[in-house]
Structure 1
Amino acid sequence: MTSIEYIKEWLNANPFSWNVIRFIAILIVILLAIQLIRRYLKKRISNTAIRYKSQKGIEILGYVLLIFLAITYFSGSIKDFTIIIGLFTAGLAFTLQELILSIAGSIYIFLVKVYKPGDRIEINGIKGDVIDVDSIYTTMMEIGQWVESDNYSGRIVKLSNAFVFKGPIYNYSQDFPFIWDQFNLPIRYGSDMELAKTIVLKIASETLSEYTKASKSQWEAVVNKYYIEDAEVGPTLAIRLTDNWVEFNLRYIVDYKKRRLTRHLLHDNIRKAFETTNGKVVLASTTIELIKIPEQKVQSEEAKKTQ
């Protein structure tokens, strides 16, 4: 008996195995077709957002097609198909629970719109911009860590989609793409405080006018959508007295991606304005007041010998 005849005899005796082999071949063809279509779209579509959504749509459509083919392909050749599928599903749920939870997380992300590519989020202690969401992982460009402020660290992080069910998700850009920021200014005692307040609020209003105007309508939409109290989106100033200086606390709203640049502009403009007051407003620094210097007696060796 030749090898070909032996294979034919084996396939006739094991029809289910032959069906599995044919299904694997179909599976490979479909997966290759998905990859070819994705590459074609990547070359033909120049717009980044449209290209990404098209590729993602083809990927999801391919997975749905594979599931449909698997059910229809085997249901006609296996007796008690529902029992077998039930046992198979139970085994998968036990052994691949993390993977299944990740796939469920991806469906939840897309349906509920927890976040999308382009959003800045913080999840599981990792903060960054979402650059891709697939059926298992969320890919982020990390910000922070050893880099000060909200700047990219250069690391790309892949995070399981299962984490959407395991903890809070902080979204910097959904519904309201602005955040509140603040910093403190130490003003020396004896400075013209009214002049200092006028300068700080004027510079803040001029520098932040674009953000204040753009955020008002969006904040109104947030208030109407959620059970939340209205808030002041314009810059505000609070004063606190300390042992060494009068502390000005400036609070303001800013685009979530321009926090560092805006703080730099505010600091620089306020410094320049204070320098033009001819000493009426002076920034303070830490001071130490000596109440009493203890007396010390120093005696030379010759004096000791004469005693």
Structure 2
Amino acid sequence: MGGLALEVSSYFKGVGTFGKLILTIAVFVLLGIFNKAFSNYIDKANWSSVKTIKLKKAFSVFTKILALIFSIPIWLHESQNILTFLGLFSAGIAFALRDLLANFLGWLMISSHKPFVVGDRIRIEDSLGDVLEMNWFHTTIIEVTQNQDKTYGQSTGRLTYIPNAKFILQEVINESSTFPYTWNEIQIHLNLNSNWKKAKEIIMEVASKELGNMEEEVKECLEVASKTHPIYYQNLSHIVYTSLGEEKITLTLRFICRSRNYRNLEHGIIEGILEEFEKYEDIELK
């Protein structure tokens, strides 16, 4: 193999550095066109989306490896010329490609430490969504709605492309990895003259009906998660806290559920509470 590379490289021995640079760029461009043509062919094939994505990714990596293999013989006999060339232009190249390099380093960090994988729901800065793809320079998520910095909704259908460099310096929140459950709260505000004790009983009854055997489900998942991360909870049951505000009584239901099921549970709990409150004249919402 090495002898073949040397034999092929001898054809480029008389070519200058600039010519070799043009040839190298041509190799990458031609293989890029080939990769694009193959991707278009795959898109037209009647295959499942999972198979299509896997084939396109595999072929993309294959063409990149081919580009490197074809470029090696072009530069194999270069010594002083290539060092001189790199010395003259290294500063300019480093400045021009600093963002691409940072994004590539971010991809290396994601690939090695795996703070998230495809399918996880993550948040970084103002971007919140489910991870669709991670390539060398950016990560693609499909956006989900967000309310009051806590209530996560459903997909908007919009795609967000996040430069991988952000994952080096910014904090990343992962809601659905090892332990895909989150604690959530629903606040109910009552007038001061309301029967808050009865209201509290109703909230607990409705929550118990909607949550079902959630506690047992969470315990099983917690046992698995605790083998990877030190995640421990003494109490997994839902509870209602009572507090006083300005001319109102606030009852706060705290419960745990799957990170992607909060909106559905909130909907069921709120409707159940409102229906029950209508039966009592001494319970007034604020």
TM-score, normalised by the number of residues in structure 2? 0.79
Asked if structure 1 preserves the Cα contact closer than 8 Å seen for 2:222 and 2:231, the reply is no
The one-letter amino acid of 1:100's match is: L
Amino acid at match of 2:36: Q
Instruction: Return the offset for 1:266.
Output: 0.7
190-199 or 255-264, which moves further after superposition? 190-199
Judge which range, 250-259 or 76-85, deviates more: 76-85
Q: Report the Cα offset of residue 125 of structure 1.
A: 2.4
Aligned 1:49-88 pairs, distance under 5 A:
49-70=50-71, 72-80=72-80, 83=83, 87=87
Query: How far apart, in 2, do the equivalents of 1:125 and 1:233 lie?
Result: 30
Residues 145 and 153 in structure 1, CA contact (< 8 A), matched pair in contact too: no
- Using a 3 Å threshold, how does the CA distance of structure 1 residues 220 and 139 change in structure 2: closer, same or farther? same
TM-score, with structure 1 as normaliser: 0.74
Query: Cα deviations across residues 90-146 of structure 1 (Å, max 9, x unaligned)?
Result: 653333111111112122222322223332211132222223322212223333379
Q: Which residue of 2 aligns with 1:116?
A: 117
Aligned residues: 272
Change (3 A) 1:28 1:215: same
Following superposition, the deviation at residue 251 of structure 1 comes to: 0.7
Equivalent of 1:161 in 156, 161, 164:
164
Task: Tell me which amino acid in the other structure corresponds to 1:202.
Answer: E
Summarize the Cα distance change of 1:239–1:146 in structure 2 as closer, same or farther, 3 Å threshold: closer
Amino acid at match of 1:122: R
The answer (yes or no) to whether the contact 1:239–1:249 under 8 Å persists in 2 is yes
1:6 corresponds to which residue?
none
In structure 2, C-alpha distance between the alignment counterparts of 1:106 and 1:60, rounded to whole Å: 14
Larger radius of gyration, structure 1 or 2? 1
2:17 and 2:81 in contact (8 A); partners too: no
Aligned equivalent of 2:236: 233
C-alpha distance 241-17 of structure 1, shift in aligned 2 (>3 A): closer
Question: Percent identical across equivalent pairs?
Answer: 21
User: Which ranges in structure 2 are unaligned for 5 or more consecutive residues?
Assistant: 1-11
- The answer to whether the Cα contact below 8 Å between 1:186 and 1:247 also exists between their aligned partners in 2 is yes
1:250 positional shift: 0.2
Task: Report which of the two has the higher share of strand.
Answer: 2
CA distance in 2, matches of 1:247, 1:146: 20
Alignment of structure 1 residues 28-177 onto 2, 5 Å? 28-44=29-45, 46-70=47-71, 72-80=72-80, 83=83, 87=87, 91-144=92-145, 150-153=153-156, 155-177=158-180
Q: Kindly report the root-mean-square deviation, in angstroms, between the aligned alpha carbons of the 2 structures.
A: 3.2
Asked if the contact 1:27/1:66 (under 8 Å) is kept, the reply is yes
SS in 2 for 1:252: strand
Displacement of 1:247 after TM fit?
Answer: 2.0
Q: Distance in 1 between matches of 2:265 and 2:132?
A: 24
2:140, 2:159 within 8 Å by CA — same for their partners in 1? Answer: yes
Deviation digits for residues 164-218 of structure 1, max 9, x if unmatched? 1121011121212222211211244555544333321121122122644433222
Give the structure 2 partner of residue 3 of structure 1: none
The one-letter code matched in structure 1 to 2:176 is: S
User: Would you say the 8 A contact 1:45–1:51 is kept in 2?
Assistant: no
Say whether the 8 Å CA contact 1:211–1:255 is kept in structure 2.
Answer: no
